[in-house]
Amino acid sequence: MIIHKRSVLALAMIAALAGCDDDTAGNNTSDSIYTSSVTSGRTLTNTADVVKIGSETTDDTVTLTIGATSDLHGRLFGYDYALLSNDADAGLTRIGTLINQVRASDADTLLIDIGDTVQGNSASLFNDLPTHPMVSALNTLEYNVWVPGNHEFNFDRSFVDRNLENFDGAVISSNIKWENTEVSYLKPYQIFNIKGVTVAVIAVTPSYVPNWEASAPEHYAELSFEDELTSVTAAVDDAITNYSPDVVIGAFHLGRNDNGSGVYQIASKLADKFDVIFAGHEHAEYIEEVQKDAYSSSYSGEDIATSGSDHGTEDKSASGTYNESTRAANVKIIEPGKWGWALATASIELHKDDDGKWKMTDTTLANLHTYSESDHTSVADQQTLSDEYQWVHEQSLADASAELGTVTGNFTPSSTGHEDEATGEAYDSDAGRLYSTIHYAKVHDTPLMDFINQIQLEKTSADVSAASLFSDHTNLINGETYTKAKSSELYKYDNTLMGIKMTGANLKKFMEWSYSYFNAYTAGDLTVSFRTGAKSYNYDQFDGTIKYTVDLTGDAYSQSKNSDGSYTVTNPGSRVQISEIAGKAFDETATYKVAVNSYRFGTQLKTYGWATSDDVYYESTNEAVYAIRDMLTDYVQTNKGINVDDFDDNMNWSFVQDAAIAAARTDGDKGQALWEKLQNKQICIQIDWDNAKYPGIAVSLNPDNSDSYFANADYVSSGTGTAEACNTNPDE
């Protein structure tokens, strides 16, 4: 790390501006740019320029502790209100217990939450309160920093403003500016004096917020989101120039490889300026080391986490010592996963040199889990926090449990009515997956997906509707009670609905892009498989008056991003064959009405040049019921239930390879033998081991490819295979 010295004059000026450097000091009121309540053209700050934590040590060595959470998504408690079930490895109440344990060792621990905090899991029930319970809970736990994530901007900006104002610590992000100005919405960084050590925390929010919220610009009204690398570089340079920090910490709500600049790119470019980077957004858990100036589009950090079932601590034999001689060459990055899986921690050891300057001795990272895979136990709730916010759980549970009607018929027409393409079983909540990872409704035209699409078609009067199966545990089973939770299970995001006019040519691009989710078919395949790194929420199925087939031997669609942000098609794809729309032959020059969610419009259609704002003819934000999820609830409530007969008469698409795959499964030979082994859980399929957020089959099961499967260890040892056994990478 490069540490720049400041002049005595500069130090004096900053001291005069900042006033006292303790945590009771007021904001820097001498500079009119700062404000304690959100005001257009001024920077919100809840804290002094320098916040003091703990007493200055008199020792020549010191250890600092940093803790971080990210992507809590409304999980105040370890309970999933969409599934109406406990979640053993989730909840801020469990994180609270880990915080107590960490503070028992170091009372001066610095706590950071890296965003996507207030959205999801029935959290929107409390959006009208002066302060959201998730933010109040962060205050109760005495978090020092909150970084807004992209999902904080899913709602009207007044909601974001007041919750940022009401957080008791520092609210920071380096790349959110007031439109057409250089003035920051929030401070780009916060300086702490911890035990006499100067620590800078630099934060960033995804620059794609305006794309993701394109249908609701009021969510980010008057704000612009700048390039992450540019903003972080400016912020860290400013912090170094003005404060000469002894330790520099990143708090990035970014994936490792992301739209805009990802963590890998920023970490590699600025490895000599950061000591530890805490990340979020990806919903992944990792501990890695990134080398200075090593970034390329194919770059991956070095995994420095220990192997084993809990995989939560840094392997010092892999990472070595991080000290003054090595700190300019690399930086460690860590993410704690989603929903309260873990509390990410960094233990930072320093010593004083002969001149009394703090120097780096070493850093050690760990993810402290709320659930132990080795002994299958959860961390207990922090009782004080649990008691204080029990009302939140009770209201959320009552709302989710509201009975709206009865389900008639199986909406996933597998042999059992359940989700798994191979075993015919339901989602395994303990293992966090379907056994085969292939939901029947992902690879067949089903009433389950038609329910969503036909609601969208009715609302928009579109020719075509596009929708995604967001979760592998989604289903509607004959005879079950449809509670409000079912709508959240079917549609977990806060998307609104849009009607877009698209040319046939651009609709075809959209569909080819969607079906690039799949790998190519090879003769003898018993299953499909999903492209490595693919995200399931980016795979749409299309319904309406459209009829089409998908040939997985065709080329997959691909495109490249240009320097000006536009995209060039590098392969148009040849998988999707559209025969007709609205009873007429498909015409690339015709204009069709297409129903999509707000995320799809902003992130793909608009960004890739397939549609513009001028093409919008319908927006549900103008309706009393505007969220797609609530439209599903409204339908069931109005009809006092839901009947499969109303959604099973429009089987409009299929894979060309369906017949060949079915034949291979019943060939009376090696194909059938291998398929039955999968059905009996004797073998496991190969998943995308690096895609922690969206695990799925990465290699199509094929008897001629022994690398497409491996033995189920539980079946080998006990004669009964489990999905949990398939979660262990056989190559590790």
Instruction: Confirm whether 15 is domain-assigned.
Output: no
Lowest mean pLDDT among 303-312, 340-349, 507-516, 630-639: 303-312
pLDDT tens per residue across span 341-384 = 999 999 999 999 999 999 999 999 999 999 988 888 999 999 99
Contact (CB, 8 A) for 171 and 186? yes
In a domain, 14, yes or no: no
Q: What is the CATH number of the domain that holds 267?
A: 3.60.21.10
Give the burial class of 23: count Cβ atoms within 10 A of its Cβ; 0-12 exposed, 13-18 middle, 19 or more buried.
Answer: middle
Report if residue 6 sits inside a domain.
Answer: no
CB-based burial, 321-331: b 16+ in 10 Å, e otherwise: ebeeeebeebb
Half-sphere exposure of 321 (CA within 13 A, CB side): 8
For the cut 60, the answer to whether the pLDDT of residue 24 exceeds it is: no
Span 544-584, pLDDT tens digits: 999 999 999 999 999 998 888 889 999 999 999 999 999 99
| pLDDT band, very low/low/confident/very high, at 412 (cuts 50, 70, 90) | very high
Q: Are residues 365 and 408 in the same domain?
A: no
Hey, CA dihedral for 267, 143, 166, 217, is it positive or negative? positive
Q: Kindly state the tokens that stand for 667.
A: 């060939």
Q: What is the CATH number of the domain that holds 620?
A: 3.90.780.10
SS3 443: helix
d(CA 272, CA 263): 14
- If asked whether residues 569 and 596 sit together in one domain, one would say yes
In this structure, are residues 115 and 280 in contact, taking their beta carbons and an 8 Å threshold? yes
Q: Is pLDDT of 715 > 80?
A: yes
Shared domain for 387 and 443, answered yes or no, is no
Which domain covers residue 458, as residue numbers? 404-416+434-668
Separation of alpha carbons 619 and 633, rounded Å? 19
* First-residue to last-residue Cα distance in the chain: 33
Tokens of 219: 């969510």
What does the longest C-alpha to C-alpha distance in the chain come to? 86
In a domain, residue 2? The reply is no
User: Average pLDDT of 42-49?
Assistant: 96
Burial of 25 (0-12, 13-18, 19+ CB in 10 A): middle
Do residues 76 and 201 both lie within one domain? yes
User: In the structure encoding, which two tokens stand for residue 310, read together?
Assistant: 């809990």
pLDDT of residue 533 exceeding 90 = no
Q: What string of H, E and C letters represents the secondary structure of 58-121?
A: CCCEEEEEEEEECCCCCCCCCEECCCCEECCCCCHHHHHHHHHHHHHHCCCCEEEECCCCCCCC
Task: Please write down the HEC assignment for all residues of 147-169.
Answer: CCCHHHHHCCHHHHHHHHHHCCC
Please give the share of the chain, as a percent, with pLDDT higher than 70.
Answer: 95
Strand order in the sheet with 584-585: 584-585, 576-581, 547-550, 653-655
User: Hey, what amino acid is at 728?
Assistant: T
Q: Classify residue 122: in a domain, yes or no.
A: yes
Whether residue 146 is found in the same domain as residue 110: yes
Task: Record the pTM.
Answer: 0.83
Evaluate whether 636 touches 404 at the Cβ level (below 8 Å): yes
* Domain-ending residue, one of 618, 648, 668: 668
Tell whether 497 and 530 lie within a shared domain.
yes
Note the pLDDT tens digit of each residue in 61-113: 999 999 999 999 999 999 999 889 999 999 999 999 999 999 999 999 999 99
Spatial distance between the Cα atoms of 371 and 269, rounded to a whole number of angstroms: 35
Give the pLDDT score at 605: 96
Q: Is residue 33 situated within a structural domain? A: no
Cα gap 169→55, rounded to integer Å: 19
Q: Model confidence over 131-150: pLDDT tens digits?
A: 999 999 999 999 999 999 99
Closest CA to 440 of 419, 455, 457: 419
Mean pLDDT of 406-411: 98
CA distances from 569 to 510, 556, 573, 610 (A): 12, 11, 9, 12
Residue-level pLDDT at 9: 30
Please check whether residue 605 lies inside any domain of the structure: yes
What does the pLDDT look like over 599-624, one tens digit per residue?
999 999 999 999 999 999 999 988 88
Do residue 496 and residue 614 come from a single domain? yes
| Confidence grade of residue 692 (pLDDT, cut at 50, 70, 90) | low
User: How many domains does the chain fold into?
Assistant: 2
Question: What are the Cα distances from residue 648, in Å, to 344, 444, 644?
Answer: 47, 12, 6
Domain C-terminal end among 395, 426, 444: 395
Burial class (CB in 10 A: 0-12, 13-18, 19+), 12: exposed
Which pLDDT belongs to residue 731? 86
Q: What are phi and psi of 44, to 5 degrees?
A: -70, 130
Dihedral sign for Cα atoms in the order 523, 539, 254, 369: negative
Tell me if 706 is assigned to some domain. Answer: no
Supply the pLDDT for residue 402.
Answer: 95
- Give the model confidence (pLDDT) of 3-21 as tens digits: 332 333 333 333 333 333 3
Pairing between β-strand 576-581 and β-strand 547-550 as defined by DSSP bridges: antiparallel
Per-residue confidence (pLDDT) for residue 548, from 0 to 100: 98
Residues 540 and 578 in one domain: yes
